[in-house]
Amino acid sequence: MVKDVEMRDGSAGSCGKSKEIVEAQRTYYMEGKTRALSARIDALNRLEQSILTYEQELYQALRSDLGKSRAESYMCEVGLTLSELRYVRRHVKSWSRNRRVHTPLAQFHAASFTVQEPYGVVLIMSPWNYPMLLTLEPLIGALAAGNCCVLKPSAYSPATSAVMAKLIREAFPSDYVTVIEGGRKENEDLLNQKFDYIFFTGGVNVGKLVMEKASAHLTPVTLELGGKSPCIVDHTANIPLTARRLVFGKYLNCGQTCVAPDYVLVEKSVKEKLLTCIKEEIRRMFGEHPLENPDYGKMINQKHFDRVRGLIDPMKLVAGGQVQEETLRIAPTVLADVTAEDPVMQEEIFGPVLPVIPVKDIEEAIRFVQERPKPLALYVFTEGKRTEQRILTETSYGGGCINDTIIHLATSQMGFGGVGNSGMGSYHGKKSFETFSHEKSIVKKYTWMDLPMRYQPYTGWKEKLVRMFVK
């Protein structure tokens, strides 16, 4: 999801400058200025203030890049970011404390504990679909842990990237946190540098490249990827409410959400009712003419618009399908009686097109999911406890919801991440702090006693003591 673009004023560097930037940050980090708890809390305070200073510009930029309304931008970007920041700030002191653990009897007399330390200089590469949230939320965890950070937002959302470059520049010296704007060349240049940690959010193909580049330096990574996230609806579901929550999750940000329901597996007995209710909810939320709704977003660019439009099969179209090329808008669209072989099922849609696949029963739905790569999210709508439990235990996915969509990522109390092809690692709240921290294991041995059994020469009585202590 990257392309070549020229660097703009306000960026922290250009191609060939990445090494210099990383070295400067490493020097700054080694001076110890980021590690004290007070320094980390101060960094979070400065970030918060800078976000608030540029809040109005962020709304304008998100409107420019993605057509997001002010309400949606606050709900899904600004508000979520501030909520995460304030949660982390409240808890970072407790997370940072050394943690006592049990010491085995064989190590008598000693104390065992773990120490959290920052990795050092980290790289955060973010996508275009939620350009503020998915850039600054990982940054919050990195700052709370005491790291220096290079931020690389996507070239596809230039207006938001420019605002973030300004707010970061106002809050931090570049040796501490900096934003590098640009496209493929800048990405490649950054990935050739030695970072202490890389956090990447984006597509699977680029994620593989990131992992390959990181392996040259044995750099640990978190990969937040994607995939085709299924939604399962059984005959016991509250169909009108299912339709409302499904339409919200699918068409938010014009379907350009990594955890949007990608397709629906619905039991045949309730398929027609579900389709009817989905069409009603689309009209209720977006009006009779969604393309004229000023609060309905747009595709990020022409290439993406053309790709998603090409997935609409007129023979299976039951709702939507209208497009407005000059504004890069595609109406909320529903395809019925889709099969696994249809083009719309061959890739992650990442747009406002919802395929509906009828299944005989829950067993068929589970098999359908099991036979495919592990998705980032899964949703099930049911009133049946047994069905709920089967989905939880028989399918593998990053996370999800029972009787709702996408809201599982909007909490700092739980980690968010993928599994298999949908990614590795997680973040949010304490998970973010842990992701950007290395946990050192320490044993402090006291000197007033020294048990002789571990030292040579080994004798029978020493072996007996070892067997007594080590069980």
Secondary structure (H, E, C), 15-53: CCCHHHHHHHHHHHHHCCCCCCHHHHHHHHHHHHHHHHH
- H helices within 223-301, ranges in order? 239-251, 271-286
> What are the structure tokens assigned to 331, written together?
């109406």
Contact 334, 320 (CB under 8 A): yes
Contacts of 20 (CB under 8 A, 6+ apart): 13
Instruction: For residue 358, report the phi and psi dihedrals to the nearest 5 degrees.
Output: -75, 140
Query: How far apart (Å, rounded) are the C-alpha atoms in residues 431 and 415?
Result: 6
Cα–Cα distances (Å) from 330 to 32, 141, 276, 286, 327, in that order, read 51, 36, 20, 12, 9
Catalytic residue among 84, 181, 224, 434: 224
Can you state the percent helix, strand and coil of the chain, rounding each to 5? 45, 20, 35
Is residue 258 flagged as an active site residue?
A: yes
Amino acid at 467: R
Cα–Cα distances (Å) from 374 to 101, 156, 225, 234, in that order, read 35, 27, 11, 21
Q: What is the largest CA-CA distance in the chain?
A: 89
Query: How far apart (Å, rounded) are the C-alpha atoms in residues 236 and 361?
Result: 12
Catalytic residue among 148, 149, 254, 258: 258
List active site positions. 224, 258
